[in-house]
Structure 1
C-alpha cells in the first residue's frame, strides 16, 4: 500500500504545535506503548511553518519528525496547506470564498480559501515546494498527505474568481456557446447565452435555478479541487518517490466531490469516516462507506485515514462508544478491505473548536476505559496482521453515482421526500442483512464478474452506462432497479418516451406518470408488502407482474415486475418487503451469502488471496452467533460461536 511495516497499520493524526516539547516526548513514548506505527503531522501546520510571508521555520517539525523516527514510527507527512494562516487572508482578502448568496466567508475556522484563487494556489504551492525539498528523502516519511479533507467546507465557491474559472471549464467542455445552450436547455425562461462572459455560477436566485447549470457547477467544482490536488502532487513527486494521497470523505453528509474521477489519481486510496448518529442506522452506513471506499480502490486494500475513538464534536448529540464498539467499528473497516486504521486524533485537544472531539489519548489520560480499548485494538491488529494484502470476496455489485446524487436532489423534483443516498443505503442495508457482501461500482463499470447488480435511484445515467447494464443482462447477469432511475441523460434532459427512461426496455415496462405519496401515507401490495413515498402509473411490455398495488392512487397497477433476469420496483418498499424482494433476486441469481441473515446485528465478510482465506464475523448484537468451528486469530483459539459484542477473524483452511 505504502512504504510501511507488514500487517495492519495503526495510526493517528498528531498536532504537536498544540503542545510543548516535553509533551512530545511523553506522547511518543505512549505511542510506542499503544503500538502506533504511522503518525500524520503538519496537517494544519502552515502558520507554524511559515509564520510570516516567505519566512520558513522548520525547527519544530524537524524535531518532531526526528523524534518519531528515532522511535521507529513512520510519518504520514502533510503539506500543511489545508488552512491558510491569518497573514495570507489579511494581505490577500481575495482568496476568501463566497457562498451561494454572494456573501464572503471569513477566516476564523478552516479552509477559508477559494479553490479557484490563483493567489492562494501560488502561496500554497510555494509552501509545498519547501516541505517537499526538506523532507522528500527523509527516511521517516512513508506517505505524503496533500492538504486535508479537500472540499469539506469550501468545495462550492461562487466568487468572481470561481466564475471566471467556471467559464473556462465550460469552454473546454462545450467548445461552442451554442453547444452549451443546447446542453443546458437555455431556451427555457429566456436563458440563452450569446457570449461566455454572460455566464455566472448558479448563485441564489429569486426562483428555481437551471438544474443542468447546477450539475455542471458541481462537476466543475470537483474538477477544480482535483486540479489543485494534482498541482500539489506534481511538486511532491518531483522531489520524492514516496506515495501521495489525500483523505476522501466517503460519508453520509459530504457529497460535493466525484471521487470516481479522483480515485485514479491516488497512489493510495484513503478515507475518513465517522459514525453519524443523525442517521437511523449509523453502523449500516459505516459498512456502506467502507464498501464504497473499496470500490474506489478498485477492490484493492485501502486506508482508513481518520475515525473517532469515541465521540465527535460536530453532531447535535455526540454519543460516545460503548466498550468494544470502537473495535467492532475498526474491524468492520478491515473486513471490508482496509489494511491501515488511523484515528483523529492522538491526544485530545485542550483548546480550539475540536477540544471535545475524542482521541486515542483522552483528556483523562491513560487510566481510562478509552485507553485500555486502544491497547486492546492494537493487540487485536497485531494478531490479525496476516490478513493484510488479501481482498474482499463479492459477486454482487451496487451502482453508485455522485452525479445522480447531485441531480436527483435538484430544487424542482417530483417529491422532496426522495433523497438519493437514502435509497442507496436502503438497498445496501437489505443486502447486508441477507449476509451478502456488496461491491460498490461506478455507472459504466465492468460488471462481468457479478451475478447480481443492484441499481438504486440512478436518476442520471449516460447512454453508454445504460447500454453496458443492458448487455450485462443479455449475457445472463441479473439486474435489480429501483424507482426514479434512468430518468435523465448526463445533461439532466428527460429521456422521452416513458419511464424509467434508459432502463425501460431491459426491464420490460413503460411508465406514464409519477404519483408520489404524501408523508405518512402508504400503499399495500398484493404480496403483503407496503410502500411509501412513491408510486407510478406503470404497465408491463415484456415483463411479468410480481406484485400490484391493492389501494392508493394506482390500485391494480404493477408495483414490482420481473423481465427474465431484470427486476424493477416502483415504490419505496418497507424494509421487510425490500429484503424479501432482494432475497428473491439474490436466490434467482445464484448468489451465495457469506453469512447468515440477520437484522444487521451480525456482519460476515470474507477476505482471501494468495492461498489464504479469512472470515470476519462482527457481532453487534446482544446474543452469541454460532459459526462453523475454526481458528480465531483474535483470541488465538478454536471457537464455534462469536459472543455478543465480539469479533472474530477465522483462518479458513484452503486447498
Structure 2
C-alpha cells in the first residue's frame, strides 16, 4: 500500500458504502446484526482464563442479561504465538459457546497490540516521540500505523480472522483494532516523516503553496522541496505553528487511514457485517478529529471514563455523550467502554458511589446510546489493568459491583421501548478539533488557556438549566437551533464563520466567547482587529488582548437591562470597542475600566442577536450570560428540577417521549411529568419523586 493512502478523500463528509438498512434488524443501518433491544455487555478476554472460568462466564452473562461482548481485542499473540503459527481453537469454542447462549459478538481484528516476536524481528515498526525516543514493546500499541510493514502484518491478521469467522452466526459487528491513537496519537518516526511529506504534497501540490501556508518567510524556514520537510520534532525553540497544526491534521488522518485499510479488508470478505472502532470522545482526548472519522464507521462507538476527583464528573460525562451524539449525526450510538467502578490509571482511583454506575450508564442512554458496554467483563488477575473494575470483580458474585451489573441488565430490558428514539435539541454548542489543536499551540498570549475549559464552562451552565444541547461541528446545519454557542473558536474557516453568521440572520441567538475567529485555516491572523472572522457579526473590534497574571482578577458589572450583578474574570480580558453592538457588561476596575466586557448586537430582520463575551468569567458570570441568552432565544430546560438533577428527553418517531431524570444529589427530588415510570411500572400523574442518587425514566402521556 502506498503511504499516501493514509490521506482522506477530497470530501471526507461522504460516507463509505456499508450495510444497507435491509441488512439490519428493524431497518437500522449499521447496527450490530441480530442485536435486539439495548446492547449490554463488555470486553471479554477468555484467553486470560482457564476452561472452568470460561464456562462460568457464559452462565454469569446469561444471569446478568448480557446481549453482546467484544472478543479478541488483544489476542494477536494468543492467535499467532510465532509467525505463521495460528491457534484459533479457543476462539472457535468461544464463538460457539456465546452463540449457543444467544449472545452476539463484536469481533475484533486482534491487532491492538502486536506480539513480541513481531517487534523483536522488526523494531523499525516501533513509533517514536518528538525527541527521538523509541516506544518499545512491553505495553500496547507499540506500532507505527504509517509503516508499510506493520500495515502488512496487521492486514494479514485482520484478514485471517475475517475469513475464519465470516459466516459464524454469532458475528454481529467488526471491532477494528482498539482505541486507535490512544497511546500514540503523534508518531515522529522516519516512517511517519515519509508519510507526512506525501500528505503535504497531496494537500498543497506545490512547495510554493506550502511555503505560503506555513509563512516560511519567518525565521528563514522557506523550503525548496517536500523532501526537506520533517515532522515538528524537538527543536531549539518554537516550531512553525502551521507545521505543528498540519502535523496534527496528518496524524489524525494517518490513524484514520489505518482504520480504513483494515475496514476495507473486512468489507471485501463480509460486506453485510457492520464495522466500527471505538472512539475516545471526551474533554481529554484531542488527538483525533472524530468529525472526519464518523462517516467512515457504520455506527459510532465511544469509550468514556469519569474523573474520580471531579465532584461534577457527571457533567463532563454528559458533554462526552452529547459530543458522541453530535458526531453520530443524531443517530443512536454505542457506549463501547466505561467502568463499573474504579479505574487503574488515575492518580487516586476512587470507586463509584452507590447508584453512580447506574446513573452513569443511563446518562449515556438518555443522550443517545442504544448499547451500554464496559471494560471489561471479568476483572483480570494479572497485568497492568488488574485493578481496573469490571462487571465480574475479583471478589465474585457476592459484591455490590456484581449486583449493580445484574440490576443494570434488568433496567435496560425495562427500557426496551426507548431503543431507536433520539434527542431533539434547540441549542447547539460548536466544537472543533482543529480549533482545539490550533488554540493550544505555543507562543500564544497565554499558555494557560485550555480549549475544553471554556467549552465545559458554557456547557455546564446549559446542563445546570436542563437545556438539551447538541455538540456539533461549526460546519453543521444550524437551521434548527434557536441558540448557538461558540466557545473560544480560535481557528475558523471562512465558510464556517459564515455559517454561524447565517444562523443569527435566520433569527438565532449566537454567543461567541473570547479568542474566537482569530486565525484562518492556515493559522494566519485575520487582520483588522479581533475577533477577526466574527467582528462584523458581533459589532465589536478588539485592539489588544489583556491577559491576566496568576491570581489576578478584575470585576465587571452588568448594565441591568439584560444582565444584572457584578462578576469576576481571570486569565483573559480584551480591549474592545463597540462597532454597532451594545455593552451588556463593562469592566469596573483594572486597566480596561469602563470598556465593554460583554456585548450584544441585533442581527437581521428575523430577530437574531449576537453576543460577545470578551473575558473569562467566573461561574456566576457565565450563568448570568447564559440565562440572558436563553431568554433571548426563548429557551427553557426540559423540566423544572432542583440543582444537580439531570433531565433529558428522547423522542420516538411515533411521537412518544421518554423523560430521563437522574438525581445526582443527596436529597429526594420532584419533577413535574405525566405518564408511566418504565423502571417501576407505576403511573405518574403530574408529579414524580426521584430518590437521592436515584433514577427514573417516564414514558410521557
- Calculate the TM-score normalised by the size of structure 2: 0.92
Whether 1:631 and 2:662 are equivalent positions in the alignment is: no
Whether 1:97 and 2:127 are equivalent positions in the alignment is: yes
Q: Which residue of 1 aligns with 2:636?
A: 592
The one of 139, 142, 153 equivalent to 1:112 is: 142
Report the Cα distance in structure 2 between the residues aligned to 1:649 and 1:355, rounded to whole angstroms.
34
CA offset digits 1:285-316 (Å, max 9, x no partner): 10000000000110011000000000000000
Whether 1:644 and 2:692 are equivalent positions in the alignment is: yes
Q: CA deviation at 1:4?
A: 3.4
- Aligned to 2:661, the other structure's residue is in SS state strand
Count of aligned pairs between the two proteins: 652
Q: CA deviation at 1:619?
A: 0.5
- Aligned to 1:414, the other structure's residue is in SS state coil
Q: Which residue of 1 aligns with 2:213?
A: 183
Q: Which residue of 2 aligns with 1:559?
A: 597
Whether 1:247 and 2:278 are equivalent positions in the alignment is: yes
Whether 1:136 and 2:166 are equivalent positions in the alignment is: yes
Whether 1:323 and 2:354 are equivalent positions in the alignment is: yes
Q: Is the 1:8–1:385 contact (alpha carbons within 8 Å) kept by the matching residues of 2?
A: yes
Q: Which residue of 2 aligns with 1:534?
A: 572
Report the Cα distance in structure 1 between the residues aligned to 2:140 and 2:201, rounded to whole angstroms.
32
Report the Cα distance in structure 2 between the residues aligned to 1:232 and 1:525, rounded to whole angstroms.
55
Report the Cα distance in structure 2 between the residues aligned to 1:41 and 1:6, rounded to whole angstroms.
19
Q: Which residue of 2 aligns with 1:63?
A: 93
Whether 1:206 and 2:236 are equivalent positions in the alignment is: yes
Report the Cα distance in structure 2 between the residues aligned to 1:252 and 1:558, rounded to whole angstroms.
30
Q: CA deviation at 1:519?
A: 1.7
Whether 1:227 and 2:227 are equivalent positions in the alignment is: no
The one of 349, 353, 357 equivalent to 2:380 is: 349
Report the Cα distance in structure 2 between the residues aligned to 1:252 and 1:60, rounded to whole angstroms.
39
Q: Is the 1:398–1:455 contact (alpha carbons within 8 Å) kept by the matching residues of 2?
A: yes
Report the Cα distance in structure 2 between the residues aligned to 1:5 and 1:266, rounded to whole angstroms.
18
Report the Cα distance in structure 2 between the residues aligned to 1:353 and 1:128, rounded to whole angstroms.
25
Q: CA deviation at 1:278?
A: 4.9
* RMSD of Structure 2 on Structure 1 (CA): 1.0
Q: Which residue of 2 aligns with 1:83?
A: 113
1:389-468 matches, cutoff 5 A: 389-468=420-499
Q: Which residue of 1 aligns with 2:412?
A: 381
Report the Cα distance in structure 2 between the residues aligned to 1:29 and 1:355, rounded to whole angstroms.
22
Larger CA deviation: 274-283 vs 285-294: 274-283
Q: Which residue of 1 aligns with 2:23?
A: none
The one of 638, 653, 659 equivalent to 1:610 is: 653
Report the Cα distance in structure 2 between the residues aligned to 1:160 and 1:614, rounded to whole angstroms.
53
Report the Cα distance in structure 2 between the residues aligned to 1:154 and 1:473, rounded to whole angstroms.
40
- Calculate the TM-score normalised by the size of structure 1: 0.98
Report the Cα distance in structure 2 between the residues aligned to 1:51 and 1:204, rounded to whole angstroms.
37
Q: Unpaired runs of 5+ in structure 1?
A: none
Q: CA deviation at 1:429?
A: 0.5
CA offset digits 1:308-363 (Å, max 9, x no partner): 00000000000101111000000000000000000000100000000000000000
Q: CA deviation at 1:638?
A: 2.6
Report the Cα distance in structure 1 between the residues aligned to 2:125 and 2:219, rounded to whole angstroms.
34
Q: Is the 1:545–1:562 contact (alpha carbons within 8 Å) kept by the matching residues of 2?
A: yes
Q: Which residue of 2 aligns with 1:157?
A: 187
Q: Decide whether aligned partners of structure 1 residues 605 and 200 sit closer, same or farther in structure 2, where only a CA change above 3 A counts.
A: same
Q: Which residue of 1 aligns with 2:11?
A: none
The one of 482, 492, 496 equivalent to 2:527 is: 496
Q: Is the 1:399–1:442 contact (alpha carbons within 8 Å) kept by the matching residues of 2?
A: yes
Q: Is the 2:640–2:671 contact (alpha carbons within 8 Å) kept by the matching residues of 1?
A: no
Q: Decide whether aligned partners of structure 1 residues 464 and 424 sit closer, same or farther in structure 2, where only a CA change above 3 A counts.
A: same
Q: Is the 1:433–1:598 contact (alpha carbons within 8 Å) kept by the matching residues of 2?
A: no
Larger CA deviation: 276-285 vs 332-341: 276-285
Whether 1:546 and 2:559 are equivalent positions in the alignment is: no
Q: CA deviation at 1:462?
A: 0.2
Q: Is the 1:115–1:154 contact (alpha carbons within 8 Å) kept by the matching residues of 2?
A: no
CA offset digits 1:534-572 (Å, max 9, x no partner): 101000101000010000221001000000210010111
Whether 1:262 and 2:332 are equivalent positions in the alignment is: no
Q: Which residue of 2 aligns with 1:11?
A: 41
Q: Which residue of 1 aligns with 2:18?
A: none
Q: Which residue of 1 aligns with 2:14?
A: none
CA offset digits 1:227-282 (Å, max 9, x no partner): 11111111111111110000000123221000000000110100000002354632
- Aligned to 2:557, the other structure's residue is in SS state coil
Q: Is the 1:434–1:579 contact (alpha carbons within 8 Å) kept by the matching residues of 2?
A: no
- Aligned to 2:572, the other structure's residue is in SS state coil
Report the Cα distance in structure 2 between the residues aligned to 1:221 and 1:278, rounded to whole angstroms.
31
Q: Is the 1:323–1:373 contact (alpha carbons within 8 Å) kept by the matching residues of 2?
A: no
Report the Cα distance in structure 2 between the residues aligned to 1:432 and 1:478, rounded to whole angstroms.
18
Q: Is the 2:641–2:669 contact (alpha carbons within 8 Å) kept by the matching residues of 1?
A: no
Report the Cα distance in structure 1 between the residues aligned to 2:37 and 2:505, rounded to whole angstroms.
43
